[in-house]
């Protein structure tokens, strides 16, 4: 998938991001851009967050 430059400009990763911030950022990134894979170290947590958002 191509990079979504507008999304990246308006959603920078916070400096010294916490694990929770990284998970939230990568979940949003996967939905909006997906120009790269989620790091393996947080992938299970990102997928869990995305699944929880889909359920009513």
Residue 1 has pLDDT above 70, yes or no: no
- Average pLDDT value for residue range 3-12: 94
Sequence ranges of the domains in the chain: 5-54
Between 53 and 52, name the one with better pLDDT: 52
Supply the pLDDT for residue 6.
94
Closest CA to 23 of 4, 51, 3, 46: 46
Residue 54 has pLDDT above 90, yes or no: no
Residue 53 has pLDDT above 90, yes or no: no
Question: With contact defined as beta carbons under 8 Å apart, do 17 and 41 qualify?
Answer: no
CA 25/CA 19 separation, integer angstroms: 10
């Amino acid at each position: 998938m191509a990079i979504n430059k507008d999304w990246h400009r308006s959603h920078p990763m916070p400096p010294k991001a916490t694990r929770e911030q990284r998970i939230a950022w990568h979940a949003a990134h996967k939905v909006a851009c997906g120009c790269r894979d989620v790091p393996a170290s947080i992938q299970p947590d990102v997928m869990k967050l995305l699944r929880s958002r889909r359920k009513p």
